[in-house]
Amino acid sequence: MTFSDFNFNAGLLDSLSSMGFNKPTPIQEESIPVILSNKDLMACAQTGTGKTAAYMLPILHKIIESNSDGLDTLVLVPTRELAIQIDQQIEGFSYFINVSSIAVYGGGDGATWDQQRKALTDGANIVIATPGRLLAQLQSGTANLKQIKHLVLDEADRMLDMGFYDDIIRIINYLPADRQTIMFSATMPAKMRALANKLMKDPVQVNIAISKPAEGILQQAYLVYNEQKNKLIKHILSTGNYNSIIIFSSTKEHVKKLERDLSNMGFSLKGFHSDLEQEEREEIMRAFKSRQLQLLIGTDILSRGIDIDGIDLVINAEVPGDAENYIHRIGRTARAATTGTAITFISDADQHKFLQIENLIGREIPKLTIPVEIGEGPVYEPEKKPKYNQAFNNNKKKKGNAQHSKPHANVKENHQKKEHVKHTIIKKGNAPQ
């Protein structure tokens, strides 16, 4: 099957041809006919499967064929980075057709606000927006969304995780009831289905290869104590031949520490976290994509939406708190039919979480032996309850059976709102991503 089989507008086909895209991905093949038929769609597909093109190509076709004038489509996304990314993709897809778009997101100055307000009032065809910023524009009383024909919720599960449910419901009140609603999500928990039931009319459901890593990823793990991790990272980087590397850590404080600890290894590297200004984050991503940076260290804000080929190593310095996040993290490598390596460090306390990941993907991941010079790691006993750290055990021995000698739970940092990563759209391959 090729994109010509969808009978797309000739200009849209010219754009796809100029970008080197001929064959649709599975999610595109199943979703595009549904959207062209004006039915609501609830699609479940991992990042990297071409989901943006799966909904945007048929919408662009409908806009150009209907000579739609003014605001036609609203795309809600969880982060400014994803909004920018989709806006860039639309620019590429629309190279030979007359369709306009704008990304609406927080930050920036008064001129940015005015530009976004003008697009909402005077009529860009497509608006890609984060819920908070769009709601602020709507509450200012200047924007009118009553002519919207298509509503898209991209990474809907991520928006719910970030607490945007109430904002989404408020935005829906500004939209016409007679519209096509399209929802894309990497996962489909119960709260997602509840939202779909509230927003959609008899949606067609499409599920594509959910929760399975790409076949080209070599998955490995090491059993290590926390104090051994930096030494092991340095060993892996110094003994391997890796050109493009991402290291995931659980908190921005850990990211900053890793950036300091690895800075003397001779790699060009940067930390990527929420304390950076938006312009700094965009500059880092441009440098990483152009290979000016060899190593990127970040939190889970990097785990979705980085469409960069050639990342050949991903290291999880800690086991992700959610098994699905493991899929997104390691999915940064082995993209576009390439291969890559994903290595996860398993501490004594994280063994049960890693077992949940293995259960999710339906396979056991090989546990490699750490180098002798680093020391001996913990024994893999994932069925046992996590052990408390040695400092607590020593303290407990000193205090005996005192009632108040309870361990403090480690509090994981919440996902930061409005974080994600921008990527550039025009690349060669079989299908648009």
Greater pLDDT, 368 or 266: 368
Per-residue pLDDT for 431 more than 70? no
pLDDT at residue 386, rounded to an integer: 53
Per-residue pLDDT for 101 more than 90? yes
Cβ atoms within 10 Å, residue 410: 9
Q: Which range scores top for mean pLDDT: 19-23, 212-216, 340-344? A: 340-344
Burial level of 130, CB count in 10 A (0-12/13-18/19+)?
A: buried
Q: Find the farthest-apart pair of alpha carbons in the chain and give their distance in angstroms, rounded.
A: 79
- Is 216 in a helix, a strand, or coil? coil
Is pTM beyond 0.85? Reply is: no
Per-residue pLDDT for 210 more than 60? no
pLDDT tier at 50, thresholds 50, 70, 90: confident
Shortest CA distance to 13 belongs to which of 2, 26, 29?
2
Percentage of the chain with pLDDT > 70? Answer: 82
Q: What is the C-alpha separation between 339 and 309, in angstroms, rounded?
A: 10
Contact (Cβ atoms closer than 8 angstroms) between residue 74 and residue 145: yes
Per-residue pLDDT for 103 more than 80? yes
Shortest CA distance to 345 belongs to which of 214, 234, 419, 266?
234
pLDDT at residue 352, rounded to an integer: 87
Mean pLDDT of 213-229: 89
Greater pLDDT, 240 or 180: 180
Dihedral of the alpha carbons of 251, 254, 256, 258, in degrees to the nearest 10 = -140
Greater pLDDT, 121 or 371: 371
Q: What is the C-alpha separation between 150 and 148, in angstroms, rounded?
A: 6
Per-residue pLDDT for 294 more than 70? yes
Q: What is the C-alpha separation between 366 and 421, in angstroms, rounded?
A: 30
Q: What is the C-alpha separation between 129 and 313, in angstroms, rounded?
A: 32
Greater pLDDT, 83 or 325: 83
Per-residue pLDDT for 57 more than 90? yes
Average pLDDT, the chain: 82
Shortest CA distance to 213 belongs to which of 49, 368, 427?
49
Percentage of the chain with pLDDT > 90? Answer: 45
pLDDT at residue 315, rounded to an integer: 95
pLDDT at residue 363, rounded to an integer: 87
Instruction: Collect all residues with Cβ–Cβ distance below 8 Å to 243 and sequence separation of at least 6.
Output: 291, 294, 310, 312
pLDDT digits (tens, 9 = 90+) for 241-257: 888 999 998 888 889 99
pLDDT at residue 415, rounded to an integer: 39
pLDDT at residue 426, rounded to an integer: 32
pLDDT tier at 178, thresholds 50, 70, 90: very high
What structural domains and CATH numbers belong to the chain? 3-208 (3.40.50.300), 217-374 (3.40.50.300)
Cβ atoms within 10 Å, residue 270: 23
pLDDT digits (tens, 9 = 90+) for 371-417: 999 999 999 888 765 544 443 344 434 334 443 333 333 333 333 33
**What is the rounded radius of gyration, in angstroms, for the C-alpha atoms of the chain?**
23
| Helix, strand, coil shares, percent, the chain, to 5 | 40, 15, 45
Identity of residue 415: H
pLDDT at residue 121, rounded to an integer: 79
Greater pLDDT, 267 or 271: 271
Q: What is the C-alpha separation between 223 and 171, in angstroms, rounded?
A: 47
State CA 83 to chain mean position distance: 12
Q: What is the C-alpha separation between 284 and 373, in angstroms, rounded?
A: 34
Greater pLDDT, 46 or 82: 82
Greater pLDDT, 64 or 409: 64
Mean pLDDT of 204-222: 81
